[in-house]
Amino acid sequence: KDYSQAEAHFLVGTQESAEALGLVLFEWSELQPKHDKGAYLLRGILQELSMSNLRDANVVYRTFVERLPPIYLSSEQKIPTKGSKTVQTFKSPLLNLTQLLLLACETGNPAMFKLLQGKYKAALSIDENFAPLMTTIGEIFFGIQLPKQANMLADLMSSLFSGPPAPSSRPTLGGTQTQQPAIEEMD
């Protein structure tokens, strides 16, 4: 089976594809018993969220987590929210990150998102695609814009071809400023 192709297909599929994606990701994780199952789930969730698809991300999460053996679970508790969500604590940091990320996206709390990024920075570094996906999620759900990177070459070219500076007063050697003559005075 080609799991990465199936994953790509289910990510852009119909509404029913989310459950199928959860099943495929879980099956894929079973092929590598020594790897953290959370990595497979996080991969799918980040991609769903980067496409602004919170509903499907939650379906993928539920479908995957329902199949986890009990040894992955540390504890379970209800938190007081509108839907009285059950929060599970897993032995896998990636599973915990995934669940908390979904909760953060539901609340739209940028501080919570930034806290998750900091706390799980090492966990997110296991795949080079996770950081750009998290950046996209930050923009979509939390309005976090990255500062625009300076492009020195573009800035230099822009300044060279933008023309002379606007007319203004010029300083003289003595420190006093003289006004430039108006164009009409030059005739």
**Which of 17-21, 83-87, 176-180 has the highest average model confidence (pLDDT)?**
17-21
Burial (CB < 10 A; 0-12, 13-18, 19+), residue 10, is buried
pLDDT at residue number 148: 65
Beta bridge partners of 177: 171
The tens digit of pLDDT for each residue in 107-165 reads 999 999 999 999 999 999 999 999 999 999 999 999 998 766 666 676 666 666 665 55
Per-residue pLDDT band at 70 (split at 50, 70, 90): confident
List the domains of the chain with CATH numbers: 3-142 (1.25.40.10)
pLDDT at residue number 75: 75
Measure the CA–CA gap between 74 and 38, rounded to whole angstroms: 14
How many other C-beta atoms are found inside a 10 Å radius of the C-beta of residue 69? Answer: 7
Is a pLDDT exceeding 90 seen at residue 15?
A: no
Per-residue pLDDT band at 46 (split at 50, 70, 90): very high
SS3 labels along the chain: CCHHHHHHHHHCCCCCHHHHHHHHHHHHHHCCCCCCHHHHHHHHHHHHHHCCCHHHHHHHHHHHHCCCCHHHEEEEEECCCCCCCEEEEECCHHHHHHHHHHHHHHHCCHHHHHHHHHHCHHHHCCCCCHHHHHHHHHHHHHCCCCCCCCCHHHHHHHHHHCCCCCCCCEECCCCCEECCCCHHHHC
Measure the CA–CA gap between 135 and 117, rounded to whole angstroms: 10
Best CA proximity match to 61, nearest among 6, 12, 22, 89: 22
The tens digit of pLDDT for each residue in 72-86 reads 888 766 555 556 677
pLDDT at residue number 81: 57
Measure the CA–CA gap between 58 and 72, rounded to whole angstroms: 19
Per-residue pLDDT band at 59 (split at 50, 70, 90): very high
How many other C-beta atoms are found inside a 10 Å radius of the C-beta of residue 64? Answer: 25
pLDDT at residue number 72: 87
pTM of the model: 0.73
